[in-house]
Amino acid sequence: MKTLLILGATGQVGQELLQFALQHPDISRVVAPTRRPLPAHAKLDNPLVDFEQLPEDAAWWKVDLTVCALGTTLRQTKSKAGFYRVDHDYVLAAATLAQRAGTPTFGLVSSLDANASSRLFYLKVKGETEQALGALGFVSLVIARPSLLIGGTRGNARPLEAFGLFLGQHLASLLPRRYQAITTRQVAHSLLEACLSAPAGLHIIESDQLQG
C-alpha cells in the first residue's frame, strides 16, 4: 500500500489522477494540496496551499510517489513570465520539497516534443522543466509526453487548441499515432500505473505509448 501526492489535482489530467488514485487498491492515502477545497474522501488529505509560498516543513511532502499535473496557459497568465512561473517554477519548487522529504518517485505530465532547445516557447519551457527535474536526484523519474488532450473542462477554451483537437479527432487515421489526440483519462491512468511500478532511472512515455 502506497501513499501518493498529486500536484494539480483540480486540472484536466489532475482530476482524473485523483479519481484513479482514490479508487486504486494499491494506494492507501492521497495527498492533494490545492488552492480551493476538494470533495472529502476517506483516503484524501487536502491541505490548502498557496503555490507562491509552499509550506517547506509539512509532513505530507514525504510520500511513496508524487505525480505532477500542474500547468496553465499563456491566455490565463497573460505573459510568458507568468506561464514560466507556473509550468516551471511551481513544479520545481514542489518537486524539490518532495525530494528533500525523501519521496523516491516523481511523475510529470509534460508535452509531446518537449525540448529545452526548442524555438517554440511552450515546448522549450516543458523541456527545461524536464531537465531541471532530472537534476533533483529522484530514484525514479517518469515523464509523460501527451499530444493534444481530449476530455475534462476548460473555462477559457483556446481557438487554436479547439481547431487542433478537431483535426486530431476527425483526421486521426491520417496522422502518425504519436500525434493523435489522447484522452486525459488515458494519460492519467498510464502515468499513475507507470509511477507505481517504476524501476530506478528516467522513464519517458511518449503519446503513442500512453494510448496503450
Q: Do residues 149 and 13 make contact, with C-beta atoms less than 8 angstroms apart?
A: yes
Can you give the pLDDT at residue 179? 81
Can you give the pLDDT at residue 173? 60
Can you give the pLDDT at residue 166? 55
Side-chain half-sphere of 186: how many Cα atoms within 13 Å? Answer: 19
Q: Do residues 198 and 142 make contact, with C-beta atoms less than 8 angstroms apart?
A: yes
pLDDT in tens, the chain (212 residues): 999 999 999 999 999 999 999 999 999 999 999 999 999 999 999 999 999 999 999 999 999 999 999 999 888 999 999 999 999 999 999 999 999 999 999 999 999 999 999 999 999 999 999 999 999 999 999 999 999 998 754 444 445 455 555 555 555 566 677 788 899 999 999 999 999 999 999 999 999 999 86
Can you give the pLDDT at residue 162? 53
Q: Do residues 5 and 192 make contact, with C-beta atoms less than 8 angstroms apart?
A: no
Output 95-101 pairs: Cβ under 8 A, ≥24 positions apart: 95/66, 95/68, 95/133, 95/136, 95/138, 96/136, 97/54, 97/56, 97/61, 98/5, 98/61, 98/62, 98/63, 98/66, 99/136, 99/137, 99/138, 100/61, 101/61, 101/62
Confirm whether pTM is higher than 0.85.
yes
From residue 15, give the alpha-carbon distance in Å to each of 8, 23, 104, 174, 185. 8, 13, 23, 30, 9
- Active centre residues (catalytic): 122, 126
Domains defined for the chain, CATH in brackets: 2-210 (3.40.50.720)
Q: At CA 134, angle to CA 205 and CA 26, rounded to 5?
A: 55
Rounded to an integer, what distance in angstroms lies between the CA atom of residue 196 and that of residue 189?
Answer: 11
Residue type, 128: E
Q: Give the containing element (helix H, strand E) for 99.
A: helix 91-100
Q: Give the burial class of 52: count Cβ atoms within 10 A of its Cβ; 0-12 exposed, 13-18 middle, 19 or more buried.
A: exposed
